[in-house]
Amino acid sequence: MAQFHVPQFIEVESKIFGPLTLKQFIYLAGGAAIIFLLHISLPLFLTVILAVPFGGFAVALAFLKINGRPFPKVLESAFYYYVRTRIYLWKKQKPKVPLKKEETPKGEPVYMPKLTESKLKDLAWSLDVKEKIK
């Protein structure tokens, strides 16, 4: 019987630039390029203020994982969530109005049959006998 090699770690990308994958390198290089363009075109004070968010975003794109998913996938999912139409599978319905119970007039007594002690004993005996038979 022929043996086949099963690939291991197919989810792990290969490291190309030192400890970085190609995607991580591109994200960091893009962030560095934007910060460099800011440094050339703006004064140092504004460059520092704008470089922090751009650098943080580039680092987040390269290294941040939320619930085991890479940050670019999280951003993509969030974008599609806000853009696409939503399907509502469940909509809350208004609560049903309870029916009003008709009240018996308080003046009329309700008829309750009275059981004597002997009838109760007979019923209890017949129930006991039926349970023992089964």
Cα–Cα distance measured from residue 29 to residue 62, given in angstroms and rounded to the nearest whole number: 10
**Which of the four pLDDT bands, split at 50, 70 and 90, describes residue 30?**
very high
13 vs 23, which has greater pLDDT? 23
Domain range annotation of the chain: 22-83
Share of the chain above pLDDT 70, in %: 84
pLDDT digits (tens, 9 = 90+) for 87-97: 877 777 888 88
C-alpha to C-alpha distance for 62 and 25, rounded to whole angstroms: 8
The answer to whether the pTM exceeds 0.75 is no
Q: What is the mean pLDDT of the chain?
A: 84
pLDDT category at 99 given cuts 50, 70, 90 is confident
